A = this chain, B = another copy of it.
Amino acid sequence: MTSNESSWSGSEKKVARAAYDKALQTALASILAEFKSRASAATTFSEMWDVEDYLKEQRRDLDRMFDYRYSQLTIVFATLIRRGYLDENMLSGLSEEKRQEIRRMLAWQARG
């Protein structure tokens, strides 16, 4: 099992933290770009409130997606890869067991 902090070695933790932070920056950059585009295009009051709704939804989505508990990290990484925020290569350095678990989750999510 990979669900306890004790199952993550010191070097794995470093890899995980770097991958996580990189994915967060990527997700935020994507939201910022979309925000700038929508805000710039907005000309009506309704479109302005749509931008607020968009940001609110993205903030909630980030809160759900980015969860750095070791018990959650493999499913978090699988989700980030599927959403295009994380390159799987960033995870080389994790144990083969963890990487396989992530791939199994990806395969499982892909069915849905």
* Residues on A facing B (Cβ under 8 Å): 28, 31-32, 35-36, 39-40, 42, 45, 48-49, 51-52, 55-56, 59
Contact = CB atoms under 8 A, between A and B. Distances in A.
Given A39-B35, A40-B39, A40-B40, A55 B59 contact: no
A42 B42 CA distance: 15
State the copy count for this chain.
2
Contacts of A31: 45, 48
Question: What does DSSP make chain A's interface, helix, strand, loop or mixed?
Answer: helix
A39 B55 contact: no
A23 to B, nearest CB: 14
A28 B59 CA distance: 24
Nearest to A28: B45
